[in-house]
Structure 1
Amino acid sequence: MSDHRERLAALDTCAVSDALDSLGVPGAALGIHAIANDRRIAGTAITVDLVEAGTTTAPRHLCTAAVDASAPGTVIVVAHHGRTHVAGWGGVLSAGAVASGTEGVVVDGAVRDLDEARQFGLTLYAATSVPVTARKRVVERDWNVPVEIAGITVHPGDYILADGSGVVIVPRERIDEVLTVAESIVAKEAEMLRRVKLGESLAAVMSANYETMLDRKAP
C-alpha cells in the first residue's frame, strides 16, 4: 500500500485524471480545491457521511471517529453533499487531524476556522468556507462507509490525490492499472516538453497523436 501511495504522490491530478479517463473510470471530484495550506496530498480514504440534523441519531460529534482513526498515509474524506450554508469541518477537528498525522482533509462542501487550519498546518480541500456552525444543523450518519463526493463514490481505502488542479479518487481495486497508465502519460508528456525546449514547433509536438493519446486500446 505504501508503494502505491508513494507512486501516486509522485504524480499530479491531471495525469491521474487522464489515466482514469482512458480507462473509463470516473474520478474527478469537481468543485473542490485547496483552501488551507496548498500542498499535494495522497493517501487512502477514511470516509464520513453527514446528514441534516434530526434525520438520524448522531452517534458522536461529527468526524471525531475518523480523526481518531486517521494516521500518516490516510486522507479524511467528508461527504458534506455540497452544502455551502453550514460548515462540515472546524478548528478543533483540524487540530486533531494534525495531531493524528493525517495527510489532509477533503470536504465536499463548506468548512470553517480556516485561520486555525492554516495555523495548525492542516492541508484542507473543500468547496468554500463559512463561519456557520454545524451544531443543530448537520450530524454524522456514519463513518468508514461508502460515500458520494461531488458525484463520485468513495469507498474506505480508495486512493485520494489532491493538488492545485483539484481532487481525484482512484478505486483501490484499480490502483495498479491507473498508476501504470498515469506514469506512461507523464513519460509521454516529458518527452513532449523535451522537444519543446529543443525548439521544435508546438504544431509538430502536439500533433494528431496528442488528441488520441488517451484512447483505450482494444483488448
Structure 2
Amino acid sequence: MPIIVTDPPRADRATVDALAAYGVATVHEAQGRAGLLGSHLNPVQQGVRIAGNAVTVTVAPGDNTTIGVAVEQCGEGDVLVVAPTAPCDMGYFGDLLATSLQARGVRGLVIEAGVRDVADLNEMGFPVWAKTISAEGTAKGNLGDVNVPISIAGRIVRPGDVIVADDDGVVVVPRLRAADALAASKAREEKEAKARARYQAGEIALDVNNMRPLVERAGARYVDYEDWVKEQQA
C-alpha cells in the first residue's frame, strides 16, 4: 500500500543555504568523500548551483502519478528527489510539473529517470538533474511512496536530508550531519584558498601537497632522457 508521509523534519534553512555556496565537490570531500550520487545523474542546464531539503518519491515504471501527489508535500527550499522502483528512462517530468513546483518555492529536481520539455525548463530556470532526456510520456494510476527513505543512484536519501547539486553532480548530506558538513566545508575551502595562493606564486602540487615523500617511497627514479635511451638500448 502506498504511503505519503507529511511534514518530515528538515535541516536548518540557513545551514542548507550556506552549503550551496560550497558546491558538490567541496561538500563531498568535506564529509569524507561520502554521499555522492552516481555520475549518470547530470544537469539538464549548466551554471546552476542549488541546495535544499529532500522530498523523496518512488514512482512505478512508466507512471508519474506519485510526482503529482508529492507536489502537495513540497514547500519553499525543497528539492524533489525521484527514483523509479525499477529502471525506466521515460520522460516522467516536464514543464507543467515544474511550473507547479516552482510556484511552491521548490529549488529543483533530481530524478533517476528521464525528463522532457528541456527548452521550457531552461527558459523557466527550473534546475533538473536527470539520468536522461526522453520525450516518451508516462501513464497514470500506479502510486509509489512519498517522504520515505529511497535508494537513488547508489545512495540512500531520506526525507529532510540536504541535497547539493551543481555542474559536478549531486551529493546528499544527512540531515543530522548538515551542520558538521558545513563546518568541514568551510575548513576545506579555507585550506584550498591557502593552497591556491601558493600555486599562483609558482609552487606545484608535489610541494603544496607534500607529495615528494610518496614519490620516494614508491621507489621512483629520475633519469636524464639520454641516459634513459641508453638503458633501453642496452
Q: Indicate the structure (1 or 2) with the bigger Cα radius of gyration.
A: 2
Work out which of the residue numbers 36, 42, 49 in structure 2 matches 1:28.
36
Deviations 1:128-187 (A, max 9, x none): 101111116x84311111111101111110000001100000111111222222221111
User: Structure 1 vs Structure 2: percent identity of aligned residues?
Assistant: 31
Task: Give, in angstroms, the shift of residue 116 of structure 1.
Answer: 2.0
Structure with more of its chain in strand, by fraction? 1
Please name the residue that 2:204 is paired with. 201
Are the aligned partners of 1:37 and 1:122 in contact in 2 as well (CA < 8 Å)?
A: no
Please name the residue that 2:16 is paired with. 5
Check if 1:69 corresponds to 2:73: yes
The separation in 2 between residues aligned to 1:90 and 1:131, in whole angstroms, is: 9
Where does 1:42-57 land on structure 2 (aligned, <5 Å)? 42-52=51-61
The separation in 2 between residues aligned to 1:156 and 1:189, in whole angstroms, is: 32
Which letter maps to 1:103? R
Are the aligned partners of 1:33 and 1:125 in contact in 2 as well (CA < 8 Å)?
A: yes
Task: Give, in angstroms, the shift of residue 90 of structure 1.
Answer: 2.1
Are the aligned partners of 2:91 and 2:114 in contact in 1 as well (CA < 8 Å)?
A: yes
The separation in 2 between residues aligned to 1:165 and 1:204, in whole angstroms, is: 27
Give unpaired runs (5+ residues) of structure 1. Answer: 212-219
Deviations 1:39-87 (A, max 9, x none): 001010011101236xxxx8x9231232233222111111136735312
SS in structure 1 at match of 2:143: strand
Task: Give, in angstroms, the shift of residue 20 of structure 1.
Answer: 2.4
Q: Number of residue pairs matched?
A: 201
The separation in 2 between residues aligned to 1:83 and 1:118, in whole angstroms, is: 25
Task: Give, in angstroms, the shift of residue 93 of structure 1.
Answer: 0.6
Please name the residue that 1:214 is paired with. none
Please name the residue that 1:96 is paired with. 100
Q: CA 1:83 to 1:36, structure 2 compared with 1: closer, same or farther past 3 Å?
A: farther
Work out which of the residue numbers 137, 144, 162 in structure 2 matches 1:159.
162
Q: CA 1:32 to 1:40, structure 2 compared with 1: closer, same or farther past 3 Å?
A: same
Alignment RMSD: 2.3
The separation in 2 between residues aligned to 1:144 and 1:46, in whole angstroms, is: 6
Task: Give, in angstroms, the shift of residue 199 of structure 1.
Answer: 2.2
Give unpaired runs (5+ residues) of structure 2. Answer: 1-11, 215-234
Are the aligned partners of 1:87 and 1:110 in contact in 2 as well (CA < 8 Å)?
A: yes
Deviates more, 1:147-156 or 1:86-95: 86-95
The separation in 1 between residues aligned to 2:101 and 2:70, in whole angstroms, is: 9
Work out which of the residue numbers 176, 179, 185 in structure 2 matches 1:176.
179
Where does 1:113-124 land on structure 2 (aligned, <5 Å)? 113-124=117-128
Are the aligned partners of 2:61 and 2:86 in contact in 1 as well (CA < 8 Å)?
A: no
TM-score normalised over the length of structure 2 = 0.78
Which letter maps to 1:15? T
Are the aligned partners of 1:84 and 1:109 in contact in 2 as well (CA < 8 Å)?
A: yes
